[in-house]
Amino acid sequence: MSRTARDTCLLLGLSVAAIVASGILLLIILFLSTEAWPVFSQVGLLKFAFDEAWYPTEGAFDLKPMLVASFAMSMLSIMLAAPLGIASAVFCRFYAPPVVRRAYQWIIILLAGIPSVVLGLWGLTVIVPLILMLAPPGASLLAGSLVLALMIVPTVALTTQAALASIPQFYWVGAAALGLSREGTLLGVALPAVRSSIFAGIMLAMARALGETMAVLMVSGNVVQLPTSLFDPVRTLTANIALEMAYATGDHRSALFVSGLALTVLVFILAWVARRSGGQVVHA
């Protein structure tokens, strides 16, 4: 095979892979839509936004509180996890002595692999009683955010580390030649240089937080209401699906697929916004 023919074959193969990879999302959306369709066609879209409450067995389908809860919890968790994750990566790369660094690297990797069920169990038996001492009922927006934050720190840390590793050598040499301090190099050169990569990692982590089910279900209280404080119990869209799907029939079941669809739309908006604002590459 000639050189160009081989390259064409390669490109063809890669394109097929990429089409399959992005096709999965379409399949999932198609699946959610078909399952959600019965309730859409019967009660209409508006009921999901303007109903009084969520009592699907009594015909009330308000999704707003759960949309807000999902959004609030993932925002809170990323606000905690982003600084911690970035600091973790900086720590590993620049501050930690070799032995500590190895150990710390393991902690991050293992944390990434702790099942959400185990984190949820820990949250339920350790974190929730602690929060209860501050304000009842303990199972709350705050508990969910804390557990989620711990869960997504590794994602931010590992992607940031990869980004920092990608900084060309001459950046460091240049900064050294300019006589920049360690702090100056980090905050003024290194981190800004890989801003968009870090941002992409944060988005990945936030998406993970939005999609997390089991841990959230175990610690956040699952009451369908608009939270007014950190200590209010809330129900996220994912917890809603997990709690009710197994027992739902008819319109109720369909309505749960609507919440799945709503969540996908929320993630889509976030991802799109992230791409718009994080689009510029600093390297240029």
Partner 1 sequence: MLSKLFTTGALIFVALSTPVIAADDKIVITGSSTVAPLITEIGKRFEEKNPGVRVDVQTGGSSRGINDARSGLADIGMASRALKKDESDLKAYTIARDGIGVVLNSANTVSTLTDQQIVDIYTGKISDWSAVGGTQGPITVVNKAEGRSTLELFLHFFKLKASDIKAHVVIGDNQQGIKTVAGNPNAIGYVSVGTAEFEAGQGTPIKLLGMGGVAASVENVRNGSFPLARPLNLVTSKEPTGMTKLFIDYTQSADTHDLVKEQFFVPNGP
Partner 2 sequence: MPEPANLIDREIHPVRDRVLLGAVWAAAMLVAGAFVWLLADLLWHGAGRLDWSFLSTAPRNSGRAGGIWPIVVSTVLIVAVAIVVAAPLGLATAVLLSEFTRRGGTTERAIGLSLDVLAGVPSIVFGLFGNAFFSVWLGLGFSILSGGLTLACMVLPILIRTAETGLRMVPDDWRLGAAALGLSRTTALHQILIPVATPVLLAGLMLGIGRAMAETAALVFTSGYVDRMPSSLFDSGRAISVHIYDLTMNVAGGDRSAYASALVLIALLVLVNGAAIWLSDRTLQRKIATR
Residues 169-198 that bind partner 2 (CB under 8 A): 169, 172-173, 175-176, 179-187, 197
Q: Which does 95 bind (CB under 5 to 8 A by kind): partner 1, partner 2, none?
A: partner 2
* Closest to partner 2 by CB, 15 or 57: 15
Residue 263 is encoded by which pair of tokens? Answer: 């969540």
Q: Is 221 helix (H, G, I), strand (E, B) or coil?
A: strand
Closest among 162, 161, 180, 175 to 90, alpha carbons compared: 161
The span from the CA of 260 to the CA of 26, in Å, is 14
Q: Which does 68 bind (CB under 5 to 8 A by kind): partner 1, partner 2, none?
A: none
The reply to whether 220 sits near partner 2 by the rule CB under 8 A is: no
Q: Which does 237 bind (CB under 5 to 8 A by kind): partner 1, partner 2, none?
A: partner 2
Burial letters 114-128, b for 16+ CB under 10 A, else e? eebeebbebbbeebb
Q: Is 228 helix (H, G, I), strand (E, B) or coil?
A: coil
What's the closest the beta carbon of residue 22 comes to partner 2, in angstroms? 4
Burial letters 155-178, b for 16+ CB under 10 A, else e? bbbbbbbebbeebeeeeeeebeee
Those residues whose C-beta lies under 8 Å from the C-beta of residue 106, and which sit 6 or more positions away, are none
What's the closest the beta carbon of residue 13 comes to partner 1, in angstroms? 10
- Residues within window 82-101 making contact with partner 2, judged by CB under 8 A: 83-84, 87-88, 90-96
Q: Which does 72 bind (CB under 5 to 8 A by kind): partner 2, partner 1, none?
A: none
* Closest to partner 2 by CB, 17 or 50: 17
Residue 171, Cα to own-chain centre: how many angstroms?
31
Q: Which does 69 bind (CB under 5 to 8 A by kind): partner 1, partner 2, none?
A: none
* Closest to partner 2 by CB, 14 or 50: 14
Q: What angle (nearest 5°) sits at the alpha carbon of residue 145, between those of residues 142 and 187?
A: 120
Report DSSP letters for 11-25, one per residue: HHHHHHHHHHHHHHH
Write out the residues near partner 1 by the rule CB under 8 A: 53, 55-58, 60, 124-125, 128-129, 132, 136-139, 217-218, 221-224, 233, 235, 242-249, 252-253
- Interface pick for partner 2 out of 60, 68, 75, 112 (rule CB under 8 A): 112
The reply to whether 208 sits near partner 2 by the rule CB under 8 A is: yes
Q: Which does 67 bind (CB under 5 to 8 A by kind): partner 2, partner 1, none?
A: none
The pair phi, psi for residue 265, each rounded to 5°, is -60, -45
Contact yes or no for 77/207 (Cβ under 8 A): no
* Closest to partner 2 by CB, 37 or 50: 37
* Closest to partner 2 by CB, 12 or 50: 12
